[in-house]
Amino acid sequence: MVANMDTTGTFEVHNEVNKYGMLTMLHKHYPVKNIVDYYQNNKENTSNLGISTGIADRDIVKLREIQASGITPTFINIDVANGYMVALTDYTKQIRAMFPQSILIAGNVVTGDRTKQLITEGLVDIVKVGIGPGAACLTRQKAGVGIPQLSAVDDCAIAAHEVGGYIIADGGITCPGDMAKAFCAGADFVMCGSVFAGHYENPGEMIEENGRKYKMFYGMSSGHAMKKYAGKKAEYRSSEGRVIKVPLKGHIKETIEDYLGGVRSCCTYINAASVIDMPECGDFVLVQNQLNTSLVR
């Protein structure tokens, strides 16, 4: 699942990942007209697409405009960093009433009790799990908040599955092996931002320095994103995201196939017939080093 960041959660990226049956959550700053135009002109490509929304009054207005256009998104992703706000549960109930047929996503959380609460009280279908693990996230440094991602996914997956819900492991993926571990830990979906950044298909101009090409990638709670969409960084808060120059990776197709290949290979090693079987087939062992880097210079 492609993260709802404005450098990854775009129509252009979706057009590529959709070829592989993968999901995209659009970033929440798309104008209503752009969303409506895409849905009306690309009906065959929208079943794996989700729209994102905040929880302010203007976000409800925007959703009502989308609803008035006759569009019912497959997924609605409530995009807030702090899934423990009381207001979030109330907001999810409003969205559920407006779009009873849509699959509702909310988060972000890192504990099983809140996961279960969002599903049972807010009527959420899927809970996003992860506070601070993303490559462009500084929440753990600036706010001191978070739980190691593997432990959070394990705890929240058990809680969600007990009440018929699902979870997304959101953030912390650095290689195909990490994605395989997320599925083994019980994640139903894995959301990635930096993994899908830095390609020709990503938005933004190409930067060239010392003969190398880069694309920009930044957290949506960064000062850069706040200035871009709100005009300035709010004085009451710290910037919880960094701006990163990602070396150009080529076409996104190459990254997708590398990750799919890694997950398939994991399934063969642990004798899992499918991704669904991975939690039952994999065990975790605490190690100090994972790779032999003796010949790496």
Active site residue 137: yes
- Judge contact between 217 and 194, C-beta under 8 A: yes
- State the CB neighbour count (10 A cutoff) for residue 199: 21
211: buried, middle or exposed (CB in 10 Å: 19+, 13-18, 0-12)? exposed
Angle formed at CA 183 by CA 8 and CA 157, multiple of 5 degrees: 100
Q: Amino acid letter at 246?
A: V
Annotated active-site residue in 7, 92, 115, 137: 137
Active site residue 139: yes
Annotated active-site residue in 46, 53, 89, 139: 139
CA distance 138 to 220: 11
Query: Using omega within 30 degrees of 0 as the cis cutoff, is the peptide bond preceding 108 cis?
Result: yes
Angle formed at CA 190 by CA 130 and CA 171, multiple of 5 degrees: 35
- The residues that are catalytic are 137, 139
